[in-house]
Amino acid sequence: MKVIKNASQMQKIALKHIRDGDEIGLVPTMGALHEGHISLIAKSVKNDDITIVSIFINPVQFGPNEDYLKYPRPAKKDKEICKKNHVDYVFMPSVNDMLPADHKTFVEVKTLQDILCGSFRINHFRGVATVVAKLFNISCADRAYFGMKDFQQLRIIEKMGKDLNFKTKIIPCSIVRERNGLALSSRNSYLSAEGKKRSLNISKTLKEAVEDFKRKDLNFVRKTVVNKLKKIPGSEIDYTEIVNFDDLSPADKNTKKAVFAVAVWIGKIRLIDNIVMIKDKGR
């Protein structure tokens, strides 16, 4: 495994692998790697000749009151995890290399970036799309692996890739959860023992909504979830939305496959989660 810190060098290495006929898989991360990231790495190692894991804490996707400076940076541990899981290259660029002082270009995915998390985190997805576009160019990846926990991000990246004719194929990967159901996230480390216990009600509530969606109308399903989430001590809801699986448009009575996406604060920690819901064939 090699650690590469320069974007130009990473691109030259990737282009050589392309010339040699290798297929490249990219796993974009912000570090603080956990079992969710490891599951993405495993898919790339299985599917691709070369696996690149990028570790870049992207400042332009953080708002002014968010946790950029406090975001965990266990670089040594992350490199050990990558080596243990057969990663070929860890790409760890500096902020100046990825976003130099004279950087003026940003990528926006209109409409999709302004709903759900985007309505609370202004310019967040502009920052995500911009850096992911750069990573696609730098890595020359044939495939890139994204978890479905941030379902909105997944759909935004898919749309960006299609609209800008990137050769990189987006591979959606299932949410990895702890045994108790909590969706894995780097921010889970911020939760106190009590906060973690309370947060389990988020995934539990969403799981219960799957059965309601098969038989009940959307208003009932959403109100039931809202009421249950409000009962979590110390919780505050940013949003609870039921959207169409394919394009994030609002679900309606004709929707057969939907995603129930939520963002909930447990104390000072903001958690996102979602679950796919499918109507019974008879309805």
Q: Which residues are catalytic?
A: 37
Calpha distance 120→127 (Å, rounded): 14
Both tokens of 149, joined, read 């926990």
**What three-state secondary structure class fits 214?**
helix
Q: Is 220 left (phi over 0), alpha (psi -120 to 50) or beta?
A: alpha
The pair of three-digit structure tokens given for residue 73, joined into one six-digit string = 């940076």
Q: Are 44 and 51 in contact (CB under 8 A)?
A: yes
Q: Is 173 helix (H, G, I), strand (E, B) or coil?
A: strand
Cα-based torsion angle of the residue sequence 9, 168, 184, 121 in order, rounded to the nearest 10 degrees: 90
Other C-beta atoms lying within 10 Å of the C-beta of residue 121:
19
Rounded Cα–Cα distance for residues 57 and 91 (Å): 12
CB of 123 closer than 8 Å to CB of 110: no
Coil/strand/helix, residue 138: helix
Residue 180 token pair: 């108790």
Q: Which residues contact 97 (CB under 8 A, 6 or more apart)?
A: 5, 6, 7
